[in-house]
Structure 1
Amino acid sequence: MAMTAGGSSGGAMGDINVTPMIDILLVLLIIFMVIVPVTPKGLDALVPQPPKNPQQQQPQNDRTIVVQVVYRPGAAPAYKINETDVAHNDLLARLTEIYANRAERVMFVKGDDELNFAYIADVIDIAHAANVDHIGLMTPKIMAGQ
């Protein structure tokens, strides 16, 4: 901080040296310019698309597989594959059977809001063990079409 003594009016006059402050601001600007492009843009998500012709039914073998984990208060959750009840112990065998002859190995997992995410993660692990390549999570916004 530079100070000049004296002035035309006879009193002390103080001038603040702003050069260090401008140097700090320029350094911060450069830091932010370097950091911003490095931040991740997000995750690519697979979202089930509505069929082009809703009147035309897809063959049973080509249906999109949705594994639903249903909350049951005070008990272990129930599991469904396309609205068909499946026991947790049979989930791996059933998914392996479904994806044995499929070229496209895509599955979606839908869980109730009250569930602990550990149950959803368990289904994802089972799907990976059944050689499912892509697993998507169905959220309320996705189901509403937003």
Structure 2
Amino acid sequence: MAMSGGKDDGEPMMDLNMTPLIDVLLVLLIMFIITIPIQTHAVKVDLPQPNPDDNRNQVDPVKNKIVIDAAGTVSWNGAPVNDVTLSQYLDQSVALDPEPELHFQPEPTARYERVDQILAIVKRANVTKLGFIGNEQYREF
């Protein structure tokens, strides 16, 4: 009861054997998949590098001074800063041990709203050594 390829037992088989062809194709497919380079989906971005000379001497370990002029410009130890930079300087000064003094000196013509904004930033930084400088200019004689 053996199976035969032809109609009669002695005839040759006329169908093509597909198994070796499929095996060869699968091996080639696997080889192509392995040899394809890995695609990296990285986006190259040139970020600005921080300059260590800029922040090194900005926070004094003894005392720091915030001045607000009439136009609302905030200065940290004489250099104008924005609110984000001021917050970073305050965080650096709070991290020092011992914490340096912070002298706060708004000009008499500075808007109260701007002074209040800066005081809120100082409070969020958890500064414990805060002193108001120049209050004698408001003293009545």
User: When the two structures are superposed, what TM-score results if normalisation uses the length of structure 1?
Assistant: 0.47
Rg bigger for which structure?
2
- Bigger share in strand: 1
Which TM-score applies when normalising by structure 2? Answer: 0.48
